Structure 1
Amino acid sequence: MQIAIIGAGHVGETLATMLTRAGYAVKVANSRGPASLSDFARRTGATVADLGTLSAGVDVLIIAIPLCKIPEIPPSVIAELPPDAVVVDANNYYPARDGRLQAIDNGQNESVWVSEQLGKPVVKAFNNIIAGRLGSQGRPRGSAERIALPVAGDDAAARKVVMEIVESLGFDAYDAGDIDASWRQQPGTPAYCTDPNPAELPRLLARADRLAATRNRDQGARLMAKLPADYPAEELVRVARFFVGLDKWRVRSWVSVLKLMTVALRGPTPPDRVSAVSTR
């Protein structure tokens, strides 16, 4: 299977590394051109490509760039995709980083907005797990520690393709239904960055509340902006799980909450972190 990735940030690099290790043929492009990706190629094993030739012959195109940059993707990237190629939306909307996108602020589903910008249906996946956890927490099939990841999209065959990729990377893929349901895995929902197991994920998706999700997303972004960039992802997951009602009686969860609050209250938000905030 040929997989192309647009984006060489944390998520793009993690996916390129994992997919290459899993045996996929992976090529990556960004807006700065192939010359900027030589170190990236060395680290990941992926092939570097130009945006103009990225789409030719690929089976899956993964978009892993800030949401605000999606309208800047050249139309030819989508036009040159094979007719049955699957497009994966691995993005999230954070106004502190992306600026205000009025349609989404007015209630439009993030991935529906992405699909409209591209003029192509998308499958939502890989968006609700911290990039570092995506790269480190894959486990063999049947493992008790295996994390479940939701996959949403209107085309059942496209969902199946992406679910098979998820499984190959060491995670349990959960069929989360059509793209309209993908808001249940967006920032601020119970399934976001809580690393649920297969039994927990369906319940967390069902509990999602759209108004609460927006409020939680923005509160979480303000909190994240106060933390060091290298704050341990494991600590963040413990806190996220605690606040959605998981692991509330574990001492380590309480310790993680107290530790995060202590760090967050030490000082004002660093100006250079506000625009870059994202738990991913």
Structure 2
Amino acid sequence: MAVVAVIGAGKLGGALARRALAAGHTVSVAGRTDGTAFRERVARTVPGARASSVEVALQGADLVVLALPLGEHRRLDPTLLASHVVVDAMNDWTTGPASGAGTAAEDSSLRVQRDLPGAHVVKAFNHIGYHDLDDEPLHGASPRRALAVAGDDRAAARRVADLVESLGFDAVDAGPLARGAGFAVGTPAFAAPRTATELGALLTSARRGLLVAA
């Protein structure tokens, strides 16, 4: 089991934290402040998780999940995230295929990696809704829902894939971080439940489309 630090106590962060706890992981939830109101909120919405500051949550964390509105990660000190495996669960809701998003150069996770140069950024959990994280069975589903994982650091991507699998999903390796564009907002792979075979086919199709566009 892993030590997971979830940065962001909103709907997605809370759902990820609850599911990780149910799977047996040790979970910290961090926000901008670790004051009384925040601690009470975490105790109410994610019982069993430790509420803390970002600095404390990162201490000893095996995996760090960014469950924030895109851009809020820039408020974090990038030096604190250096050397960490950082799961980017954020989405760019301001763009879509019609405006040119979905090309490798524009995928939001590439921007996150540039903003956090010392971190090992892996894109995952961005294409599942928080309600599905709460509702999907942790064990026993057949076939299981699949989630994509993309990262340049292959060892880091494998660790995130292991987390995905431990939470009751099939992990599909999408390849390097740029290929996260294949399951970004507005793509066929986004949001809709897919099996591993179905998701793999969609990612292959998206990759071919990116090559043609390039």
- Place the TM-score, normalised by the shorter chain, in its bin: 0.7 to 0.9
Question: Aligned ranges for residues 186-197 of structure 1 at < 5 Å?
Answer: 186-197=184-195
* Structure 1 unmatched ranges of 5 or more: 97-102, 211-280
CA contact (8 A) 1:87 1:121 kept: yes
Question: Which range is displaced more, 68-77 or 166-175?
Answer: 68-77
SS of 1:195's partner is: coil
Match of 1:15 in 2: 16
Partner amino acid, structure 1, of 2:170: D
Confirm or deny: 8 A CA contact 1:138 1:171 kept in the other structure: no
| Offset of residue 34 of structure 1 | 3.7
Alpha carbon RMSD of aligned pairs, Å? 2.2
SS of 2:61 mapped into structure 1: coil
Q: What is the distance in 1 between the residues matched to 2:176 and 2:102?
A: 18
Query: Relative CO higher for 1 or 2, CA cutoff 8 Å, sep ≥ 6?
Result: 2
Q: Spell out, residue by residue over 1:119-168, the C-alpha distance to the aligned partner (whole angstroms, 9 max, x if none).
A: 22301000011111122113536x33410100111122111111111111
Contact conserved, 2:110 with 2:178, CA < 8 A, in 1?
yes
Of 39, 47, 50, which residue of structure 2 is paired with 1:47? 50
Quote the offset at 1:76 in angstroms.
4.4
Asked whether the 8 Å contact 2:145–2:170 carries over to 1, the reply is yes
**TM norm structure 2:** 0.85
1:104 deviates by 9.5
The percent identity for this pair of structures is 37
Give the C-alpha shift of residue 73 in structure 1. Answer: 1.1
1:1-280 to 2 correspondences below 5 Å:
1-35=2-36, 36-44=38-46, 45-79=48-82, 83=83, 85-95=84-94, 107-119=105-117, 120-140=119-139, 143-208=141-206, 209=209
Larger Rg: 1
Alignment coverage as a number of residue pairs: 199
More strand by share: 2
Cα 1:106–1:133 change in 2 (3 A) is: closer
The secondary structure found in structure 2 opposite 1:67 is coil
What is the distance in 2 between the residues matched to 1:105 and 1:111? 12
| Amino acid aligned to 2:52 | A
Contact 1:148 1:172 in 2 (8 A): yes
Distance 1:71 1:150 in 2: 24
